[in-house]
Amino acid sequence: MEDILKKLIEYPTISESSNINLMNYIDDYLKKFDIKGKLIQGEKNQFNYHCMIGPNEDGGIIFSGHTDVVPVEGQDWRSNPFKLLKKNNKYYGRGTCDMKGFIAVCLSLVPQIKIKKLKKPIHFIFSYDEEIGCIGIRKLIPFLKKLKPKPKFCLVGEPTEMKIINQHKGKKNFLVSFQGHEAHSSLTEDGVNAINYCSKFINYLSEIQIELINKYKNKKYYPPYPTLNVGKINGGLAVNIIPNKCVVEFEIRDTPEMKSELFIGKIKQFLKKLETDMKKKFKNCSIEFEVKNNFPPLLTMNSSNLISLCLQALKTNSTGAVSFGTEAGIFNEIGFETIVCGPGSIKQAHKPNEFIEIKELNKCRKFLHKLIELQY
């Protein structure tokens, strides 16, 4: 397993960069065991990967992980982030925790899986650009919907400290562009201030947040409600010019029970009222609303057969929820019973000197091995 992880870490597969060399390594490794995989191109030089081990039967399980990692620029690393360092029973390197460690565990199990007489197949799906909005897996949706034989379960190996996560928040990113009318700052009646209208919208979003807090409390999450965050704003050229442009980006992290479309509809209605007011002054004014990214929350019921198997394999009786999003919501939306369970702690992800404890990888390996035995 260590040799596999070492190779995976050496490929600097930062989001939006090519992952073809890493995918070729995985493909070559699996070919040694007579496993034929498929590279599925998404963006230029970026690929998803699928392979199946076992019989051509419906009802198997997907082990899924993303191959991209976050950047290291500006971080204070004590070692080369793309060279695996073993120290104090930990592996250091970018992606050790999030989430090449899980992929290494999956690949290390292949020799054992191959000699088993499986009744149902095991699928590996490795994606790209999860870190910037689950882009790769979204490109794979048509392929997954037509996948034959059709798997029944999916396990996404994001770092959960090997806890079974059957609920998480979704994430929806939006960009709103305000087009006002430029004028000299002393002639306020001659212009339409895009920043002023944007500020009215931001104040309205604060009201929406209060409504979300009051309406959708869920103690399984921290914070225990859906969140709304205004993260970026840009507008204006000079203090003596009435700004004709302002752009704001915000996100909603919704819980499974939240009626997201209802709130998005309310936001659009409010923007329409603002736009009407702007157009009364100058007809060329406008507001554009754009969905930049959207991946759904996850909710898999405790009565799920997959959860029952995982509880048995881990010898535990509890499931949990997390506030960060993963690809699991997309798999679940397509129709696969899905959970998140993987080695490492999310607290180590995206940080300088990222690491994973070796005992976590060993626990994951033991868990996957037991899960395969229970199912097959």
Q: What is the CATH number of the domain that holds 306?
A: 3.40.630.10
Verify that 29 and 158 share a domain, yes or no.
Answer: yes
The helix-helix angle for 101-108 and 358-375 (nearest 10°) equals: 50
Given this model, what pLDDT does residue 43 score?
85
Specify whether the CB–CB gap between 353 and 87 falls below 8 A. Answer: no
Is the pLDDT at 308 greater than 90? The verdict is: yes
Mean pLDDT over residues 187-211, rounded?
Answer: 97
Catalytic residue among 68, 98, 158, 275: 68
Token pair listed for 54: 């076992």
Verify that 346 and 264 share a domain, yes or no.
Answer: no
Verify that 153 and 25 share a domain, yes or no.
Answer: yes
Domain end marker among 269, 295, 321: 295
Given this model, what pLDDT does residue 260 score?
92
pLDDT-derived band at 374 (thresholds 50, 70, 90) equals confident
Given this model, what pLDDT does residue 39 score?
97
Verify that 69 and 109 share a domain, yes or no.
Answer: yes
Specify whether the CB–CB gap between 216 and 257 falls below 8 A. Answer: yes
Catalytic residue among 130, 131, 254, 337: 130
Verify that 204 and 329 share a domain, yes or no.
Answer: no
DSSP string for residues in 6-38: HHHHHS--BTTS--HHHHHHHHHHHHTTT--EE
pLDDT-derived band at 261 (thresholds 50, 70, 90) equals very high
Q: Is 68 annotated in the active site?
A: yes
Residue-wise pLDDT for 79-98, tens only, equals 999 999 999 999 999 999 99
Verify that 191 and 125 share a domain, yes or no.
Answer: no
Verify that 53 and 119 share a domain, yes or no.
Answer: yes
User: What CATH code is carried by the domain that includes residue 285?
Assistant: 3.30.70.360
Say how many domains are in the chain.
Answer: 2
Q: Which residue range(s) make up the domain with 351?
A: 2-168+296-375
Domain end marker among 242, 271, 295: 295
Verify that 280 and 193 share a domain, yes or no.
Answer: yes
Specify whether the CB–CB gap between 151 and 164 falls below 8 A. Answer: no
Mean pLDDT over residues 5-32, rounded?
Answer: 98
Is the pLDDT at 203 greater than 80? The verdict is: yes
Verify that 207 and 153 share a domain, yes or no.
Answer: no
Q: Share the mean pLDDT of the chain.
A: 96
Q: Is 2 annotated in the active site?
A: no
pLDDT-derived band at 44 (thresholds 50, 70, 90) equals confident
pTM over 0.95: no
Given this model, what pLDDT does residue 376 score?
62
Specify whether the CB–CB gap between 341 and 310 falls below 8 A. Answer: yes
Residue-wise pLDDT for 295-305, tens only, equals 899 999 999 99
Domain end marker among 270, 295, 320: 295
Specify whether the CB–CB gap between 261 and 251 falls below 8 A. Answer: no
